[in-house]
Structure 1
Amino acid sequence: MTYRIGVDIGGTFTDLALFDDAAGTAITHKLLTSPDEPSRSVLAGVVAIAQSAGVQMGEVSAIAHGTTLVTNAVIERRGVPTALVTTEGFSDVLDIALERRYDLFDMRIAFPRPMVPRDQRLEVCERVRDDGTVVTVPEREALEAGLAELIATRGIQAVAVCFLNSYANPANERLVAGWIRERFPDLYVSLSSTVFPYPREYERWTTTCMNAYVQPIVDRYLARLEDGLGELGFTGKFLVMSSSGGTLASSIAREFPIRLLESGPAAGALMSAHVGKVLDERNILAFDMGGTTAKGCIIRGGTPIKRYEMEVARVHEFKGGSGLPAKIPVIDMIEIGSGGGSLAGTDERGTLAMGPRSAGADPGPACYGRGGQRATLSDANLLLGYLGAGSFLGGKMALDEDAAGRAISSQVADPLGVDLVEAAWGMHEVINEDVARAFRVHASERGIDYRRSSMVVFGGSGPLHGVRVARKLKIPKVICPAGAGVMSAFGLLSSPPAFEVVRSRQIAIDRLAPSDLAEICAELEAEASGVLVAGGVARDAIRIRRRLDMRYSGQGYEVEVSLPDEDPQSLRDALPQLFDEAYAAIFGMTLPGRPIEILNWKIEAYGPLAATHETYRVLQEPEGTSVLKRNRKAYFPEAGGFVDCPVYDRYALASGDSVVGPALIEERESTCVLGPADLLTVDPFMNLVIEIR
């Protein structure tokens, strides 16, 4: 028997799924996250789900883990004291940034603080030309003296080594790293030429500083997890989800923790693409809402959009340029602070405000009965009848409706001068509009019309809000997969091992020999494949994707060109046409006769999918013999207010069943809210397919 476990940690809940690959079945579990020590909830959840399946830990072949640890550490500035070692005269690059105002008319504009304060930056005399020629080699004595002082006065635990032209030749960075590791073996060291060797120094250095800033806490966290799993008897592979949609061996995740940004959400986006593929829905808007945040991802042609830069810790949620750039391969997503734990209150204008701060898991929303006093979205959904006080988490966690009412009355209804129901509905609707607005901005920035797409909803709160958000966006169909409440954990178990190598090597096409193209690709392919082989992937099972960043000579920015799966040596003559096609797809024109050059080389190695079945059947017994569990008062303003709403047991529904709204479909980890006249049909894969009417 082959069993695998996926574990996705969120700010409020930890989601787990156990796959039985022989039987093609899945078991799910959800528990509150332990924010003081996340590994505790992971280990407790693994034990619980294995026991519920009757599986011994020694029978589990792999555990895949997605975490928000890196994202939260950067946003909340909970990393370790970090030093920057940089080229003499360039220590202020982190402050100068791009010299770009993200809002021209904001007289009080604010920018995020650099990851490394100015008094923790150390300049060394070194220089490499942009062609890779070493001009000046750094001096060891001055470097070690400067670092020793920073360790003594600032408690430095990690170092980011960032030299000006190290992307062209990393020799000086590697030399300095060797000295640091020899003289200060307890320091964690990150090199910009290793983390992401791109020519633009601000983005490269900021990314490297973030990598160094979180590396010690990620290393210790993964060590605690692996030790704890070992004590439980687990001897299989431990994998960590990356932001690009592939799983990494733990050793690689420890070296490049910056690649774990958006780790869990990436798994959900990949699973949405898989659901779309199974249902022949090629264009998808994936909507994930949990207890702390909401995420959206646009999937085109069956593949999530991918980027090589994201922003972290934005000062303004929807304003590009107001955050810190991270140059990493990442699935393109929008994330906002809207979730079940989003705190409600009034803003300086005296109007209703929701989020972005969350009650988290401790103490959690007022209705959790764990000491929380603040009104949250979950409290509103309980009062509106969308959540059942006795059926939350399959009845394992009772909700306190009176506590929810008291919190909303004192913090929302009374200050706004409205009744309790109006306040709760306002909270629910503000979140819906916040999510819809974020998706509109995200899609318009990418020039995509989502109105002919279908929406896949998941996460603990996604099915609660998905239908109303889709209606606002004029999306005609919503798909709620089986196990939607823990779908990111499903995605962890359905993602291939993958690693991407990126190098900057500028060369004009007319100077590129066919053998040069093949040699450069082969070098990078060997590096990327080596990472997977070290993680246990058979070399003959590894496949390669090749992409080039190209531009017309003299331009400042480049266009990504995907290369066909052919021998690179035979592609040299096809490069101009491939570039023209990619350029025209974006700009609607080309510049005939202009010289073309390659700037960046991107090679991704990926292994086979771990999943052996197209879909996995969720094992969960119905509560009773009837599909209809009960009726409950639920609020639908289109129907005049509270209506006697039928509540259906999702696990009792069969393929081909249909339900007309208003209705509530309950499962252990979530509830799907169906609006008046909307039509739900259960498809052969047990997905709930909802037509918006």
Structure 2
Amino acid sequence: MRRVSVDIGGTFTDCFLVWDDHYVTAKALTTHQNLALGFNASLAHAYDQIGLSLEDVMQQVDSVRYATTLGTNALIERRGPKVGLITTAGFESTVPLSRGRGYGEGVSERFKKDLPMAERPDPIVPIPLIAGVRERLSERGEVIMPLDEEDVRKQVRRLVDRGAQAYVVSLVNSVVNPAHEIRVEEIIREEYPEHTLGSAPIILAHMVVGRKGEYARTSSAIIDAFLHKAMYLGLSSLELNLRDNGHERPMQVVHNSGGMAQLNSTDALQTIHSGPVAGISASEHLAAETDIGNIVCSDMGGTSFDIGLVVKGGVKFYDFNPVIERWMVNVPMVHLVTLGAGGGSIARYDRLRKTIAVGPESAGSDPGPACYDKGGRAATVTDADLVLGYLQPDDYAGGRITLNEDRAKSVMRRTIGKPLDIDEIEVAKLIKQKIDNDMANGIAQELRARGYEPDNFTLLSYGGNGALHACGIASVIGINRVFVPPFSSIFSAVGAGNMDQLHIHERSLYLQVYDSGTRKLLSDFDSFNAHIEQLEERGKADLIRQGYDEKDIEHRLELDMRYGNQLAQTAVVVSKTRIENADDLLDVIGVFGKDYGKRYGEGSQAPEAGIRVNTVRVASYVQTPKLKFSGVLPKGSDLKDAPAAPVKRACYFVGHDDPIETGFYDLESLDFGSVVQGPAVITSQSTTFLVEPGWQISIGKYGSGWLQRSEQG
């Protein structure tokens, strides 16, 4: 297996190169002005380690997988064309009204509650660029009013005159019957062929989203159209970069649905949050191979802290209506929660509360933390970790970045220490305590909102700063087991390398599988299976178009289920791809009820309210070779005491007034199964493990570590 996978974050570009039996990790600072530069620099660090040239790698790797923040950045910076919207007459205000919730979507709970100061985001499609056309379909797709083609031509001309550069067609109930949307596209092409308007994208909402819900579906299509040009140009330039260096295979793009596809089969919307989703995918694979049970995935990078859940039993967590930036969409996106907490998060004095606040603003990679000595003028979490003694100034990021400790201390004293009348050590302790508490609270809220208790989970801590803050987070939340996975600093890039070629298609059904009024189960299995077959055919066509053999294509059936009209929905993975009889249906109901009981308490199931399926989802995929994680954890017979630390230094810890003598180790000097008692710091080329007092670590393979409390309580 020869493979390159890359994850571009807000601060670092992570690269994972698999070359036969060699597993190589590398990092470079993200170059936001041209992502290909950071990609090339990161890859260069990787192939240099095993004595290869760029031509060797590019010509011989079987695939290059890419997770990017390009779409996220373009949306934040509002870099995109003028988008015109064509919708059913009478529904022109659907997007501006935004279900009456637009003021609060995508903002923190604090700002959601601040109604007097609430502000809606600047619209992507302003009201003058929204056009209604005369047509109407029923909820079953029946034609109530035929499409008025002359009206369509008139409205299209009006949008062109007003400067529209991209077009979204989102008609009511088009997910049931897309005929009118398809005809509108044909009319636009007839009126304005490419030689007159150029290659203006036309996005049909039913092609982007298969679920009902007019506002969220239309928002999904609008964002897809807005990002189309930036994604096309950005990713095309990356693919050309690969071509120029000898890689002739199609570039693979990671999707937020948990899979990947070629660039020509990727919608712009599917790339949002693709990096963190790749980390959750790697966590699922790790959990299956190591049998460590329920996992809280926590990815602490330079800019953000991402949280996801992996639960035994095949439960899938999707965001049914995720919010991207400030807009609700309804694409099938793997669920995750993102906090503005990372190594680059800026700490500041909070004048109102007379304490410190950390994040969500980040120093990023340019200028970066103050200790990077690149002009940063604010204290960050990385500055605090350096001042507390955890980081070695001359050996950070494998020696590629030299840290200026005096600069970090000076900024802390000036910006926070002076108004609080404390020294830089106390400032650094407050910053670490604040950031650890914020991340722990985020995890606790996510677990309890879904009916889980923290002590039933293992904390999986990865990202460039994950191993440095894992003990602090776990101590706050009450988790006693932390696993720092293999290649933890670039674990999302590892996940991109382990993903399958996958497409997800879904359809709203609103189907009663158990009617509590008549006490009868669903009996029309043929109609139900027909929906599944249609979704499978769409997925199969996607994969065949990309050159895959039909015999290699597999399908996974998922059902979004709930009791009666409850808001709580659960995505249930069905063991079979067809429901043939009542026994099959009872098996599905049993899986749903069992998971519901685990999450909300046994006995909370409510079949007396009826059982419904709201969405049918089919994942069509082709399995690809994967990196094996089995055997990475040491067993009892492998454990042995580590030798005495070659170097000891004074470090400062939250909850301890005086500095504590702390052993410093090089990770490469520790054997598999070595047990190091805290306090200790273990450094590697790409990350730093902090073993706080009261904890110990057992060293696994590929830079992994099993952290456990050595003192309970």
Q: TM (normalized to structure 1)?
A: 0.90
Counterpart secondary structure, 1:631: strand
* Other structure's SS at 2:534 match: helix
Q: C-alpha distance in 1, partners of 2:611/2:291?
A: 38
Three-state SS of the structure 2 residue aligned to 1:98 is helix
Pair 285,612 (structure 1): closer, same or farther in 2 beyond 3 Å? closer
What residue number does 1:90 align with?
91
Gapped regions of structure 2 (runs ≥ 5): 105-111, 514-520, 633-642
TM-aligned CA deviation for residue 547 of structure 1: 2.3
* 1:68 counterpart residue number: 69
Instruction: Kindly provide the amino acid, as one letter, of the partner of residue 344 in structure 1.
Output: A
Identify which of 199, 209, 213 aligns with 1:196: 209
What SS is found at the alignment partner of 2:59? helix
Please name the residue that 1:475 is paired with.
479
Paired with 1:687 and 1:27, the residues of 2 have a C-alpha distance of 14
User: In percent, how many aligned pairs have the same letter?
Assistant: 27
Q: Helix, strand or coil: the match of 1:169?
A: coil
Structure 1 residue matching 2:99: 3-state secondary structure: coil
Measure the CA separation in 2 of the matches of 1:492 and 1:457: 17
User: Quick one: which amino acid aligns to residue 379 of structure 2?
Assistant: A
Distance in 2 (CA, whole Å) between partners of 1:511 and 1:658 is 56
Question: CA offsets, 1:374-403, max 9 Å, x none?
Answer: 221111111111111101111111111122
Q: Which moved more, 1:630-639 or 1:669-678?
A: 630-639
Secondary structure of the residue that 1:636 maps to in structure 2? coil
1:503 to 487, 500, 507: 507
Q: Does residue 610 in structure 1 map to residue 625 in structure 2?
A: yes
2:231 maps to 1:215: no
User: C-alpha separation between the residues in 2 aligned to 1:595 and 1:441?
Assistant: 29
- The residue aligned with 2:126 is 117
2:611 & 2:338 partners in 1: Cα distance?
Answer: 36
Counterpart contact for 1:460–1:670, Cα < 8 Å: yes
Distance of 1:485 and 1:558 partners within structure 2: 35
* More displaced stretch, 373-382 vs 289-298: 373-382
Residues 188-587 of structure 1: pairs in structure 2 closer than 5 A: 188-253=201-266, 256-301=267-312, 305-312=316-323, 323-349=326-352, 350-506=354-510, 513-550=524-561, 555=565, 559-560=569-570, 562=572, 564-566=574-576, 568=578, 570-571=580-581, 574-575=584-585, 578-579=588-589, 582=592, 585-586=595-596
Greater alpha carbon shift after TM alignment, 187-196 vs 526-535 = 526-535
Q: Is the 8 A contact 1:457 1:463 kept in 2?
A: yes
Give the equivalent residue in structure 2 for 1:41: 38
Moved more, 210-219 or 271-280: 271-280
Alpha-carbon distance in 2 for matches of 1:529, 1:46:
33
Deviations 1:653-690 (A, max 9, x none): 11121111111111111101111131111136652111
How big is each residue's C-alpha offset from its partner over 1:520-570, in whole Å with a ceiling of 9 and x where there is no partner?
Answer: 2222111112212323433222221112345677x4768456464436252
The alignment's TM-score, normalised by the length of structure 2, stands at 0.88
The one-letter code matched in structure 2 to 1:210 is I
Give the aligned length: 671
The equivalent of 2:707 in structure 1 is: 690
Query: Contact (CA 8 Å) 1:196, 1:204: kept in 2 or not?
Result: yes
How far the C-alpha of 1:91 sits from its partner, in A, is 1.4
Please tell me whether the aligned partners of residues 244 and 330 of structure 1 are also in contact (alpha carbons under 8 angstroms).
Answer: yes
Paired residue for 2:142?
Answer: 133
Counterpart of 1:223 in structure 2: which amino acid?
S
Cα offsets for 1:493-541 (capped at 9, x unmatched): 1111111101224556578633323332222111112212323433222
Residue 213 (structure 1) shift? 1.5
Distance, in Å, in 1 between the alignment partners of 2:313 and 2:82 is 42
Alpha carbons of 1:558 and 1:516: their partners in 2 closer, same or farther (altered >3 Å)?
A: farther
For 1:122 and 1:329, the matched residues in 2 are separated by: 28
CA distance in 2, matches of 1:104, 1:15: 38
1:233 to partner: Cα distance: 0.6
Code of the residue aligned with 2:172 in structure 1: it is L
> How many Å apart are 1:58 and its aligned residue?
0.3
Counterpart of 1:174? 182
Structure 1 gaps of 5+ residues are 315-322, 618-625
Cα gap change, 1:395 to 1:248, in 2 (>3 Å)? same
CA contact (8 A) 2:315 2:572 kept: no
Equivalent pair of 1:304/1:332 in contact (CA under 8 Å): no
> CA deviation digits over 1:181-235, x for unaligned, max 9?
4414421122111111222111111111111111111111110000011001112
Look up the equivalent residue of 1:481 and give its one-letter code. P
Question: Which residue type is aligned with residue 329 of structure 1?
Answer: P
Does structure 1 retain, via aligned residues, the 8 Å contact 2:555–2:577?
Answer: no
- Partner AA of 2:605 in structure 1: M
Q: Give the letter aligned to residue 442 of structure 1.
A: E
Let me know the Cα RMSD of the aligned residues. Answer: 2.8
Are 2:49 and 1:52 aligned? Answer: yes
**Secondary structure at the counterpart of residue 570 of structure 1:** coil
The AA in structure 2 aligned to 1:164 is: V
* Partner residue, 2:605: 589
One-letter identity of the residue aligned with 1:578: V
